[in-house]
Amino acid sequence: MLNALSITPTEILHDYRIACESRAASVLARKEVFAGKAKFGIFGDGKEVAQLAMAKYFQAGDWRAGYYRDQTFMFAIGALTLQQYFAQLYAHTSIEADPASGGRMMNSHFATRFIDGAGNWLNQLTRKNVSADLSCTASQMPRLLGLAYASKLYRATDFHNIQKNFSYKGNEVAFGTIGDASTSEGMFFETINAGGVLQVPMCISIWDDGYGISVPQPYHTTKGDISAVLAGFKRTKGKTGYEIFIAKGWDYLALCHTYHQAVTICRTEHVPVLIHVKELTQPQGHSTSGSHERYKSAKRLRWERAYDCLPKMAAWMIESGIANEETLQNIALEADKKVKVAQQAAWHASIHDRNQAKNELLALLNDIVLPQEIADTSEWSTIMDTLTAQPDLRYLDISQAVDKALYTLREIPYVHKKGLLAWWHKNIRNNTNRFSSHLYSHSRSAALYVKGIPPIYTENPPQVDGREILCSCFKSLLGSDGRVFAIGQDLGKIGDVNQGFAGLQALYGPLRVTDTSIRECTMIGQGIGAAMRGLRPIVEIQYLDYLPYALQIIQDDLATLLYRTKGGQKAPMIIRTRGHRLEGIWHAGSYISSIMHAIRGIYLLVPRNMTQAAGFYNTMMRSDDIALIIECLNGYRLKEPMPNNVATMAIPIGVPELLRVGKDVTIVTYGAMCRIVCAAADRLSDLAIECEVIDVQTLLPFDIHHSIVQSLAKTNRIVFADEDVPGGTTAYMMQQVLEEQKGYAMLDEAPITISSKPHRPAYGDDGNYFSKPNVEEVVSKIYSMMHQVDPLCYPAIL
């Protein structure tokens, strides 16, 4: 078998060396946490040999979506050095030190950089690509589906000719890894089912060490065996499905044979494969949060010592004559030394950056000539002692010290402390870059840089259903950009439930406009993975009420991707959905605040009609940011004038639109409420109240030029109206205008909010009317406000 795989003894010894280094890194990293030099540790010990085998068949151009046990694999493919491994453990805020995240992700959360510092794509075919890990169990699975789906698209279409550095005719395999306990998650099963349906080149490895933290396997899995549970997914004659393999985690040769066979099938036939790696151990337990001796029996611990993959591999090499015991002992000793050197280098590099900041501050403080009453105070001595006596200061210690110093020096003339103040401002900028940058794109293609192009109309434009404007927009996007594709429930053959894609599947084919099953979570995952690989997906969630099925993936993976890699990875995609007014509890969702506060890192666009929506689609497709666009459910068959420039118009991000000019009250709203508010403003005008109506258009970002406060400066009264729950998005808009834009100083009256009732809307026209804001309610509340201003001019109604 060894000769059949063409694995030489030299290669085997090299693999063993990597495994020993990885194990030594796990052991030393754990000690560093307990020594207080790192906050937390989670490691890949016990999984080394299986990951060596997987790494052998991972080629340049391939992709990994894994989790925090895969350090040996990362070392083996050359995507991680030992020093980088420890730099992440110490949260070193440097991309050079920790290329995965610049200190933002906890240890063993792996990633490679596939965009450069300017946001440009790097050549993915010359790299071994690792999509950024996240801690949430099984959350890597939806994205894995998308990475593999991109290979299917690149093979079955001419996408590979359009995107030269992303795929070689779909030859790339997406490797996924997951712990056995995490296969209990719904995301795992949803991904397994979708991968079997789509037949994508997805190679899934399940690391089975018998536990999920402290909970043993019988509590997790029917029959106590996930591959037995999934046996029905195995492909048979005439029926597509998976190839399923089982291997033992300590058997190096059998593992190499299994991965060779599995990956060959996956790569050449585009058949998903699953490898259940059993009999793995976890010598140090789950993490540094506790000892596994608390929940493992003495018998189990003895078994784990006997079946630890490293001594088992060593015994096999001795038995096979590949190496003798002395050689292997020397390899282990050399590994310990090498790891210690890397750890020391990472630690000293980490504290060097912090010491540099500390020394700059100390020099400034020592240059200040202190009055006697300050020089003799204990406060000043404490500040200086903190900076000089305490080793290994954190950035927070340094920031706290300068903050205390500034308060202590508050009565000192500016000229004597201007250098310190300048350093304070620089410190804020540096820490913003270290910890808060790259929530959104910083590139030249950022959505905020896309220039607005207003719709252009003929003198008498045709009045069409709003859906026709959308359909024209999507037709233009698909026709002008070969990277664009759209997926969703009922999206393909019937063109979506509201006909926004009507006829487009027939025009562009079933891989460009694609129906999916009911699986919102993995639909988003399809989009994430494909976007990472240079394609431009539009993923439709049929109704806003169904977005929570995918919200975890959206908020934990997609929204944080650019941030958690500090600009190293991106997945520019559009999530399309529809909400607000229609019928009933689950088809009239407007719980915008619940979404908005979960998805920071994604732009939230709330167009009032389909022309605005089409403009937003064009804008986002010209950018490399991510957007959630919520169309108005009751707007598809409302008549709108057809613009001449549907293909080129663009709505700027973060710029409200003035819908009506007024002098008495400013009303701020969005989405379907724009029509309600404008109708109320017409009635209020008959009552001698002139309202200025503003459509914010985008909630994230919100009014980047602070135009709303300019309206408030004119009217001195403001109302925030929407269909969210009381205290929801209206409270957010109020905070933005009154606090962020300093509008509080311009108020003559208390601001008011108009929202839906704190429950979902009841069914039918009456249910909608009494559950959500209506024209009469808007008129009543604004009239009451004006009654307080001038009771004689606006006498009480009730």
pLDDT of residue 379: 86
Q: pLDDT band at residue 162, thresholds of 50, 70 and 90?
A: confident
pLDDT exceeds 90 at position 249: yes
Q: pLDDT band at residue 526, thresholds of 50, 70 and 90?
A: very high
Torsion-angle region of residue 157: left (phi > 0), alpha (psi -120 to 50) or beta? Answer: beta
Residue with tokens 């495994």: 19
pLDDT exceeds 90 at position 373: no
Average pLDDT on 222-251 reads: 96
In this structure, are strands 202-207 and 211-212 parallel, antiparallel, or unpaired? unpaired
763-794 residue pLDDT tens: 988 988 999 999 999 999 999 999 999 999 99
pLDDT of residue 372: 82
Residue 192 and residue 185 in contact, taking contact as beta carbons nearer than 8 Å? no
Q: pLDDT band at residue 390, thresholds of 50, 70 and 90?
A: confident
pLDDT exceeds 90 at position 576: yes
Q: How open is the CA angle 132-699-488, to the nearest 5 degrees?
A: 60
Q: Cβ atoms within 10 A of the Cβ of 136, count?
A: 16
Q: How is residue 206 written in tokens?
A: 């399940």
Average pLDDT on 430-441 reads: 96
Residue 153 and residue 530 in contact, taking contact as beta carbons nearer than 8 Å? yes
Q: pLDDT band at residue 2, thresholds of 50, 70 and 90?
A: low
Residue 593 and residue 725 in contact, taking contact as beta carbons nearer than 8 Å? yes
pLDDT exceeds 90 at position 392: no
Residue 284 and residue 30 in contact, taking contact as beta carbons nearer than 8 Å? yes
Residues 6+ apart with CB under 8 A from 731: 593, 753
Q: What percent of the chain has pLDDT over 90?
A: 89
Residues 6+ apart with CB under 8 A from 555: 598, 599
pLDDT of residue 429: 96
DSSP one-letter string for 726-761:
TTSHHHHHHIIIIIIS-GGGG-SS--EEE---SSPP
Spatial strand order in the sheet of 202-207? 129-130, 63-65, 174-179, 202-207, 273-278, 243-248
pLDDT of residue 4: 75
pLDDT of residue 163: 76
Calpha distance 262→254 (Å, rounded): 12
pLDDT of residue 5: 84
692-751 residue pLDDT tens: 999 999 999 999 999 999 999 999 999 999 999 999 999 999 999 999 999 999 999 999
Q: pLDDT band at residue 370, thresholds of 50, 70 and 90?
A: confident
pLDDT exceeds 90 at position 175: yes
Calpha distance 401→380 (Å, rounded): 10
pLDDT exceeds 90 at position 340: yes
Secondary structure letter of residue 555 according to DSSP: I
Residue with tokens 């494909």: 530
Calpha distance 264→77 (Å, rounded): 18
Average pLDDT on 123-130 reads: 97
302-336 residue pLDDT tens: 999 999 999 999 999 999 999 999 999 999 999 99
**3-class DSSP state of 446:** coil
Nearest C-alpha neighbor of 131 from the set 531, 520, 438: 531
Residue with tokens 């229609």: 582
Beta strands per DSSP E along 399-483: 463-465
**3-class DSSP state of 658:** strand
In this structure, are strands 752-754 and 718-721 parallel, antiparallel, or unpaired? parallel
Please state the pTM of the whole predicted model: 0.96
Average predicted confidence (pLDDT) for the chain: 95
Q: Cβ atoms within 10 A of the Cβ of 660, count?
A: 17
Residue 174 and residue 203 in contact, taking contact as beta carbons nearer than 8 Å? yes
Calpha distance 204→49 (Å, rounded): 16
pLDDT exceeds 70 at position 424: yes
First to last CA, the chain: 91
Residue 311 and residue 45 in contact, taking contact as beta carbons nearer than 8 Å? no
Average pLDDT on 79-100 reads: 97
Beta strands per DSSP E along 397-535: 463-465, 484-488, 513-515
Q: pLDDT band at residue 588, thresholds of 50, 70 and 90?
A: confident
pLDDT of residue 587: 84
Residue type, 450: V
pLDDT of residue 461: 95
pLDDT exceeds 90 at position 670: yes
pLDDT exceeds 90 at position 584: no
Q: How open is the CA angle 257-262-263, to the nearest 5 degrees?
A: 105
pLDDT of residue 374: 77
Q: pLDDT band at residue 1, thresholds of 50, 70 and 90?
A: low
Residue 173 and residue 201 in contact, taking contact as beta carbons nearer than 8 Å? yes
Q: How is residue 774 written in tokens?
A: 């209506």
pLDDT of residue 283: 92
**3-class DSSP state of 167:** coil
